[in-house]
Structure 1
Amino acid sequence: MTSVERTAYPRFKRHFTSKELTEIYTPTRSEIAFSYSNTKGKSNIFNLLLALKAFQRLGYFPKFSDLPNPIVNHIRSCLKFPDEIVAGYDNYKTIYRHRTAIREYLQVTPFNQLGLHLAAKSIHESAQVMDNPADLMNVAIAELIKQRYELPGFNTLNRLVRRVRHLVNQKLFQSLQERLSNDYQQRLLNLLDNHPVEYRSLYNNLKQLPKRPTRNHLNDLIVHLVWLDSLGDIKPLLVDITITKIQHFAAEARVLDASEIKEFNLPKRITLLLCLIYSAQVTARDNLVEMFLKKIKSIHNNAKRELELIQQKYQETVDKVVGVFIDVLQIFIAKPAENEVVQQVEKVLIPEGGAEQLLTECEKMNAYKGNNYLPLLWQFFKSHRSTFFRLIGQLQFESTTSEQSVIEALNLIKENQNKRGEFLKVSINLDFASPQWRKLILIQHEKETKVVRRHLEICVFSYLMTELRSGDICVIGSESYADYREQLLKESEYLPLIDQYCTDLGFANNPTDFIAQLQSLLTETATAVDAGYPDNRQLVIDDSGEPVLKKYPRRDLSPSVAILLEAVETRFPERNLIDMLRNVDYWTNFTRHFGPMSGSDPKIERATERYLLTSFTYGCNLGPTQAAKHMRGMVTAKELSFVNRRHVAVDKLNAALVDIINRYNVLKLPGIWGDGTTAAADGTKYELYEENLLSEYHIRYGGYGGIAYHHVSDTYVALFSHFIACGTWEAVYIIEGLLKNRSDIQPDTIHADTQGQSTPVFALSYMLGIKLMPRIRNWKDINFYRPDKNTVYQHIDSLFSGAIDWDKIQSHWQDILQVVLSIKTGKVSSAVLLRKLGNYSRKNRLYQAFQELGRVIRTIFLLQYISDLRLRQQITAATNIVESYNGFSKWFFFGGSSIIANNDPVEQEKIIKYNDLIANAVVFHNVVDLTDILRDLQKAGFLITREDVAALSPYMTNHIKRFGDYLIDMETVPNILDDSEALVLT
């Protein structure tokens, strides 16, 4: 059974503002005329209008006893009827007649067998791709409304959804089971039984988490993947189940233990197991590649550090080597017998480590001379060699371009992995390798060119890392490192969308005119900036061509703002954090999204209270054990952990956040701070334990951890967040956060820090209709590009260092749109594309086209940036908001020494979402309190201007109590939100 609160089934709100009553429930003249023409008597006219307005709002006829008194009173006052006229019919025939008249007036068909069939068909089609009962019901409701049908009762729809969903799923489960042999089914079921030695089921191994990237953990992960692959190739078995449902079934299985899985019927049990195995196989490959990339990167970093040490000790090494070879030269000058020469040379060399040791030191000296660390890689690579070869033996790699040189080289070293000689007698194409690598790999020995085995192996693994990152090589059976081309829309799918998409964004719908638009925009912008240079008091270009942007003076708080801020802070009521969370839930009902993964209603007692306590526990990073100690027996640690694990998922937290954001967006006060059209993105580090794959040491942030990457609106509310590794290129997620934001606040301009200035990000954001305007500290080091080589500017010519290759953009215009439309339709993630486009690729022409387009858009932005002081101030103000939010949200993350103690990446993401939930709830509550305070100040005669209020911020914490006992009183309800009494600001 699904509760009505978790669906889109229309229902009356608990409370109404006067504005809502006026806008929604005030009868129009035509509606009043309709009532008078269809019935007689004030009571009947009143009831007919009540039924009409209720039906318009709900799509069905509610019981008159369920009509909220504010609506009844409002409509009565609109008709100017006396209070003696009450809602309710005495005659059932009148009810029937009035409802028929309303349906005819609104041109709505009563729910009948045809409507039932229509609803069942839409549920059946949707059940192929989704599984949550609330989502399926929403589909049925949307279809009935679209076809102008009266909605049936909620229980009718609920039963229909349950029945159709059950039939669809059982058919899927049954057909899947029939494909499997009895022996294979039994093998799967054996996973649920306790192992005789380990005293736990192998089912738990399917949920194994990756650990930090070490050689031993890499070996363990390879063994884990070998075991997973031994369970069979699952993908062909799941061919009839959509990827969405596979993910849903896998998520459901992941939160259950073996004993609970056994309670399902056999077909469903088999299906859940297969989906979980398939998900585990894909995840294991992703994790294996990720760990491999980090290890190769670590090996290169170690070699670089070794080179630095060598450079420091260079003089000492020179003295030692020169001293040794002086002795050798003295022996050779004496010209003894040949065999005696060898013996005496050996006597000199052995005390200094022997010939091999001295050769290594000579290589180090050569590396120093060329500032080349590549010869030093072997000493860090050799301990990982066997593990890397096991890895490439377990994974299947393919090139995504026509060039196969790296794949061919990879196959060659696999064939020769058991060789131990210094050289390989093979022929190899090294076109992919840099001159430095080729110089190391190919050497002249005994009058012939030979391949140095060690250097070749390191080189191939290094380029494998590069090509996996750029997407030029993919891994079969992976998700993050799959061939992104297979995820793109097919030609027959995206070509029909181009014209409308280009029209919507104001782009030309053909490559020639598109290029002409860009050329015109770049030329006009550069010309205007050049012409305006003499009047630009902030930009100075000296005689050497060096540009300097003068800093604009910092704006301090005006005396009136300081007085207002002091008055506001002294009047803020003291609040318990957990009470603020309860109040915001009362106003928004965000906890309605929490519940079992199956989509059914929660069967726990006091569900809303448990959900609030769990949100508080994890959002403040207290952990269930510590939180339960401060809750005086209201809930146990086990119950808190259970709710988090079984009833709360990332998508549910995102939906809860959307409820808070949407209700916040209706409030008047945030509109003074911004209009929601701009947002800023920035990351902040959270401490993690080292024993997980996400945790990484980062110099910029210091210590081990992950990055919470927030998108914050100009109205101060956080729209979306990702949790990523410290080493991740943050610009990858700039666009993704906006695309995943499902709230009513939809910014079209995004600000970021310096990491957001990459050319592929500029290109992709432009093609998606997003204005990217980052704060760039090192803008002087970035190249400006001319429209063509012959263009010369009078004042700003020294800024430009190259010209745009328009042919490169024009020839790949259709490919660019294929990518953009694939992202827009949800076929592929912008983060996946940018992660590949953000890594240089000489093979991938799509990368080169995006890079060239990005150069155009970035140059236009940079020209605007250096010429527009207000734009720079706007960017600074927006990025200051997101940086303030980072500190604000962390203020609530006070438990557990502010360290995320869970090593599960899903749980880590949830904790960040919980924290956003707490922070946004406090922002919401602060705005409500601030609005009341400002109204009271106005009534007391305090002069408040719009400019002064715009300088305030809802990131206030002085009035909030974080510590003590965490008790929640569900009986106490907050005041009704009524924002109709607007602030009158001068």
Structure 2
Amino acid sequence: MASIERTAYPRFKRNPTVKELRDIYSVTPGENQFAHRVARGSVPVLSLLVLLKSFQRLGYFPRPKDIPVAVINHIRSCLNLPLEIEPNFQSKTLYRHQKAIREYLNVTPYGKEALHIATSAIYKAAQVMDNPADLINVAIAELIKEQYELPAFSTLDRLARRVRTLVNYQLFHTVLARLSNEEKHKLDELLETSDQKRKSDYHYLKDLPKSPSLSHMKDLQTRLSWLTSFIVDLQRLLEDIPNSKIKHFSSEAKALDASEIKDFSPPKRYMLLLCMIHRSQVTTIDNLVEMFIKRIRTIHKKGKEELELIREQHRSKTENLISILTEVLEATNIHDDDASAGKKVKELIMAKGGIDALKSDCESVSTYNGNNYFPLLWKFYKSHRKSLYRLVKMIEIDSTTQDRSLVLALQFLQDHENRKIEYFQSDLDLSFVNEQWRNTVYVGKDTGLIHRKHLEICIFSYLASEFKTGDLCVKGSENYADYRDQLLSWKECEPMVIDYCEELGFPSSSTDFVHQLKHWLTETAETVNLNYPDNGQVLINEAGEPVLKRLVRRDSSSSSKELESTIVQRLPERNIIDVLGNVEHWTRWTRHFGPLSGSDPKLEQATERYVITSFGYGCNLGPAQTSKHMKNAVTPHMISFVNRRHISAQKIDQAIRDILNHYNQFSLPKLWGDGTTAAADGTKYDLYEENLISEYHIRYGGYGGIAYHHVSDNYIALFSHFIPCGVWEAVYIIDGLLKNQSDIQPDTLHADTQGQSTPVFALSYLLGINLMPRIRNWKDLKFFRPYKNARYKHIDPLFSDVIDWDLLETHWQDLMQVVLSIKAGKVLPSTLLRKLSNESKKNRLYQAFRELGRVVRTVFLLRYISDIKLREQITASTNKVEAYNGFSKWFFFGGDGVISENDPEEQEKRIKYNDLVANAVIFQNVVDMTMILWELINEGYNFSREDLVMLSPYLTRHIKRFGEYVLDLENVPPPIEEGHRLEIISTL
């Protein structure tokens, strides 16, 4: 049976707040009149209204004993009835009252028609969903929409399971009918072991990618060859199976061992294996392309290092040539006679080695005097050559733009792979290469002669670049697929444009949209220019450079420091696992954890297991150490089992959402922030080197990945990603806000320099998000004029370029298509922003987003330099997220703070577990601080609102990270026998 707590099935709250009672259960005059028409007497009227308000809240009639006393008391007070009046739900009047309520609310009882509606809704949803809780929610939503009374939860649960079983049975048998006997035999062999083969080939499907070395890339290529040849026509077998179903069945298979999959019936077993193979193919292609990009990047890095080494080696030659030139100049200056001067110069040259030697030194130095390291790349590329050619043959590459010159150049390379000549004549279209590559690839100007080796490196380098920008796509990939396929068509977008633009205050036509932007930029620039003399915060010097006055640091008052000290002294000592248990009791966050099937967990003491598992992984202890901390009350295997089978990253997000929603009900956090702003920042976590996500980060130092946190202005963490070190953090900045489904919904987002770029400013603006980052070198950024002739008396030196409004108007439809696709959940912002980088020269979307971003960023920068309160707000918010980074890491104390998992999914879960622990401690701290503040008020302690504003829930001095260790001196260890100390040594 599915857990009712994981569904949207309406239930009474155990302890409704005063506000909830007032908003939900207050009796309106119309309802009072209705009750008095139907019932006579205080008790029947009260009984009827209790049923009415309960039905309005739940959508069904609850059992009388389940109605909270607080609800009855509130309704009684609305009617001004004495406390001795109690509702009486007699069976002879109950049916009449229920019928009257249904008529009053125009609700139809649950019957055959409702059953048909619920069944149809579940059947349709089950084509793409699999979790029973999700299917039940679909049925609930449809029944409420059609104004039907909800049946008992068990009825919906049985219905969802029957329909899901039917749909999955149909899918299983559809695939089974397509399988040949040979393919069935192959799939069965996947699960077999032998004396020679201790592990089945099924485990090979679960292998994780290692570090992006050449040997590991070759291993992945071998793996892809095996996967594609194992079941040749996999696409035909899984045709018409929704991708969401494939992912679900693959996740289910990944969590199981070969012996467990053998226990399934053949139809389900074959489906799970095929989905696992399909997902393995997709991820292997993604990993191969990722490795290809990183290997090309490594080749270029070594080329740059080689150039620096050569320059260092030539430094003595350069100095020698400069000294010779100096002597030549002096000799020429001393001798007035040209003949004498020439003779002296010749003698100097001969003395320094002669013309040929010096000429050779000049050529050697001049060759590597610039920054062109491309001619040096062959040395590092040649060992990769065979593997790179093999890779581009294994994957299907296509262009996402009209420009196919790079694809054709790659085809040309493949056709001439085995040619050994150094140079060849060709009219190959190399319009995609820059001037530096052109000078390297071509031998001389206008000769048409191409250097074969340099051409190969050039084309593979551009392949890597355009995979990143999305100008090239790979068939069968997920991360490098054609992003255009994920967008809604304009035909689908067109009906939504007017409503969306009205919601965000945008004009719904390209011309008016551009006009509004132009007016916004013009008005902002003119206002800042007008107020410049009175601003006092920004000064533009004679060189045209803006200089901002430093913000004055606001120190805490003595009263706020005294209040904080008093609170810290009174905070009760707590250990982490007790905190998690307390918060679970208050919020029931473990309700989201359970088997992938969506059923209730069949674990003994499931809640306790979930709390222990969250503690172990959130503090990075791992299963073994967690088990020891719990005095072996739970085995390491059970902790690992719960993590793999019952908890996913999505479920942890849902658990955190429950904590956030309950946290949002406290009044103390509302003094720190109203939840309308948030800040994003990344912090590095160490990883082992043998995995694909781990990279060396120059800014942080060492190998690892980035935990990218979104933290609300009231200190709680809303969402987190785990991303590679090499990626620009701004790519993921919008995802966090869109994936945050809690009651705390910010519309303003702060970040640091890594959290912004022109495309990010543009996309934030279109999504209604105010992006306001703290940019380190903001004065180096360009300010754009609204039109060419715009001039400003005071701030004119700031501007250096003009907005291309025609470009924006031309691509307005493309911009709206993207943002509506994101709002519809078809594509994530990070998927697009990865493509919209500075290297996207061909991508029309990049050009449009860059131009819009220039408008938005210019407006922001003008506001930033003229508004001191805005700068203070940005600084305060970014300081909070930086403080959270340190706070959350304080709990990540196990395993020396190193994430030992190589699986990207498990790495992501570690960060989310850590967020769960950190947020639980924040929640507990707010509870304790609130209790202490009430005690202080009752004791007559005086403090102000400003004192409370200066408090923070990031308190750790009262937290015992390592739990309780009890010293028992009564437990006497066994004696050490005399002679045993040297017994082992004496036997050697």
Question: TM-score with structure 2 length normalisation?
Answer: 0.91
Q: CA deviation at 1:236?
A: 3.6
Q: Partner residue of 2:421? A: 421
Q: CA deviation at 1:76?
A: 4.5
Q: Name stretches of at least 5 consecutive residues in structure 2 with no aligned partner.
A: 324-355, 967-988
Q: Give deviations 1:530-565, integer Å, cap 9, x for gaps.
A: 111111211111112121111021111111211211
AA matched with 1:305: E
8 Å CA contact 2:44, 2:87 repeated in 1: no
Counterparts of residues 139-538 of structure 1 (less than 5 Å): 139-194=138-193, 197-230=196-229, 231-316=231-316, 365-444=365-444, 449-538=448-537
Decide whether the 8 Å contact of 1:64 with 1:87 is kept in 2. no
Contact 1:711 1:721 in 2 (8 A): yes
Shift of 1:56: 2.1
Tell me which residue corresponds to 1:65.
65
Match of 1:786 in 2: 785
Q: Distance in 2 between matches of 1:360 and 1:671?
A: 74
**Paired residue for 1:349?**
none
Q: Alignment partner of 1:369: what SS?
A: coil
Indicate the residue corresponding to 1:875 in structure 2: 874
Tell me if the contact between 1:7 and 1:135 (Cα under 8 Å) persists in the aligned partners: yes
1:152, distance to aligned residue in structure 2 (A) = 0.6
Could you tell me how far 1:185 is from its partner in structure 2? 2.0
Q: Which runs of 5+ in 1 are unaligned?
A: 324-354, 968-986
CA–CA distance in structure 2, aligned partners of residues 737 and 407 of structure 1: 35
Q: Assess if the C-alpha contact under 8 Å between 2:528 and 2:866 holds in 1.
A: yes
Q: Equivalent residue for 2:91?
A: 92
Are the equivalent residues in 2 in contact too, given 1:367–1:375 (CA < 8 A)?
no
SS of residue matched to 2:462: helix
Q: Is the alpha carbon distance of 1:146 and 1:363 closer, same or farther for their aligned partners in structure 2, counting shifts above 3 Å?
A: farther
SS at match of 2:45: helix
CA offset at residue 451 of structure 1?
1.6
Q: What are the residue-to-residue correspondences of 1:540-689 with 2, within 5 Å?
A: 540-689=539-688
| Residue matched to 2:11 | 11
Q: 1:84 to 1:702 in 2, by over 3 A?
A: same
CA spacing shift, 1:380–1:71, aligned 2, 3 Å: same
Aligned-partner residue type, residue 413 of structure 2:
I
Aligned partner of residue 711 in structure 1, secondary structure: strand
CA shift for structure 1 position 814: 0.6
Q: CA deviation at 1:255?
A: 0.6
Say whether 1:699 aligns with 2:695. Answer: no
Q: Does 1:826 align with 2:853?
A: no
Q: Give secondary structure in 1 for the equivalent of 2:768.
A: coil
Q: What's the offset of the Cα at 1:151?
A: 0.9
User: CA separation of 1:195/1:772 partners in 2, compared to 1, >3 Å: closer, same or farther?
Assistant: farther
Q: Is the 8 A contact 2:132 2:598 kept in 1?
A: yes
What is the Cα deviation at residue 86 of structure 1?
A: 4.5
Q: Could you tell me how far apart the structure 2 residues matched to 1:712 and 1:675 are?
A: 13
Choose 225-234 or 724-733, whichever is displaced more: 225-234
Spell out, residue by residue over 1:165-194, the C-alpha distance to the aligned partner (whole angstroms, 9 max, x if none).
111111111112112222212212221212
CA contact (8 A) 2:575 2:963 kept: no
Paired residue type of 1:652:
K
Q: Distance in 2 between matches of 1:602 and 1:731?
A: 39
Task: Check conservation: 2:521, 2:855, Cα contact below 8 A.
Answer: yes
Cα 1:321–1:306, aligned 2, differ >3 Å: closer, same or farther? farther
Using the TM superposition, give the Cα deviation of residue 148 of structure 1 relative to its aligned residue in structure 2, in angstroms.
1.6
Identity score, percent: 59
Return the alpha-carbon distance in structure 1 between the equivalents of residues 465 and 360 of structure 2.
Answer: 27
- How far apart are 1:425 and its partner, in Å? 4.4
Deviation at 1:196, TM superposition (A): 5.5
SS at match of 1:801: strand
Distance 1:641 1:160 in 2: 33
Q: Secondary structure at the residue paired with 1:719? A: strand
Question: 5 Å matches for 1:710-729?
Answer: 710-729=709-728
Moved more, 247-256 or 943-952: 943-952
Q: Distance in 2 between matches of 1:181 and 1:903?
A: 36
Deviation at 1:77, TM superposition (A): 5.1
Question: Which moves more between the two structures, 522-531 or 836-845?
Answer: 836-845
Distance 2:416 2:152 in 1: 71
Partners of 1:735 and 1:765 within 8 A in 2: yes
Distance of aligned partners of 1:395 and 1:49 in 2 relative to their CA distance in 1, 3 Å threshold: same
1:870-907 Cα deviation digits (max 9, x unpaired): 11111011111111111111111011110000000000
State the SS of the aligned residue for 1:721: strand
- Residues of 1 paired with 2:833 and 2:774: CA distance? 20
Aligned counterparts of 2:956 and 2:613: Cα–Cα separation in 1: 21
Note the alpha carbon deviations across 1:813-846, whole angstroms, 9 max, x for none: 1111111111111111110110110242222222
Worse overlay, 172-181 or 804-813: 172-181
User: Partner of 2:383: helix, strand, or coil?
Assistant: helix
Amino acid at match of 2:260: E
State the alpha-carbon separation in 2 of the partners of residues 175 and 567 from structure 1: 69
Check whether the contact 1:469–1:839 (CA below 8 A) recurs between aligned residues.
Answer: no
Aligned to 2:332: none
In structure 2, what is the Cα distance between the partners aligned to 1:38 and 1:360? 110
AA in 2 matched with 1:591: T
Are 1:135 and 2:134 counterparts? Answer: yes
Q: Is contact 1:364-1:376 (8 Å) kept?
A: no
Deviates more, 1:522-531 or 1:668-677: 668-677
Per-residue CA deviation, residues 882-936 of structure 1 (Å, 9 max, x unaligned), is 1111111111101111000000000000010101111111111111111111122
* Paired AA for residue 140 in structure 2: I
Residue 712 of structure 1 aligns to which amino acid in structure 2? V
Cα shift at 1:855: 0.8
Asked if the contact 2:423/2:450 (under 8 Å) is kept, the reply is yes
Q: More displaced, 32-41 or 367-376?
A: 32-41
- The CA distance in 2 between the partners of 1:484 and 1:566, in whole Å, is 54
> 2:111 — aligned with what?
112
- Which residue of 2 is the match for residue 959 of structure 1? 958
TM-superposed CA distance for 1:84, in Å, is 5.3
Give the 3-state SS of the residue equivalent to 1:705 in structure 2.
strand
Name the count of aligned residue pairs.
Answer: 932
Q: Secondary structure at the match of 2:784?
A: strand
CA displacement, residues 853-872 of structure 1 (integer Å, 9 cap, x when unaligned): 11111111111111111111
Whole-Å separation in 2 of the counterparts to 1:854 and 1:180: 52
Letter in 1 for 2:59: G
1:711-731 per-residue CA deviation (whole Å, 9 max, x = no partner) reads: 111111111111000111101
Are 1:760 and 1:854, in contact at CA under 8 Å, matched by a contact in 2?
yes
Higher alpha-carbon deviation: 431-440 or 205-214: 431-440
Q: 1:360 to 1:616 in 2, by over 3 A?
A: farther
Distance 1:45 1:315, change over 3 A: closer
Which residue pairs with 1:982 in the alignment?
none
Secondary structure of the 2:518 match is helix
Say if 1:195 and 1:202, in contact at 8 Å, map to a contact too: no
Going from structure 1 to structure 2, the CA distance change for 1:83 and 1:448 (only over 3 Å counts) comes to closer
Q: Distance in 1 between matches of 2:86 and 2:501?
A: 56
Measured at CA, do residues 529 and 640 of structure 1 come closer, stay the same or move farther in structure 2, by a change above 3 Å? same
TM-aligned CA distance change 1:475 to 1:317, over 3 Å = farther
Separation in 1, partners of 2:843, 2:965 = 56
User: Whole-Å Cα distance in 2 between the matches of residues 364 and 292 of structure 1?
Assistant: 33
**Cα distance in 1 between the residues matched to 2:33 and 2:496:** 46
Kindly provide the amino acid, as one letter, of the partner of residue 601 in structure 1: D
How much does 1:359 deviate? 14
RMSD: 2.2
- Decide whether aligned partners of structure 1 residues 208 and 233 sit closer, same or farther in structure 2, where only a CA change above 3 A counts: farther
Once the two structures are overlaid, the 10-residue window that deviates more, 21-30 or 61-70, is 21-30
Is this contact kept in 2: 1:632–1:965, CA < 8 A? no
Q: What is residue 911 of structure 1 aligned with on the other side? A: 910
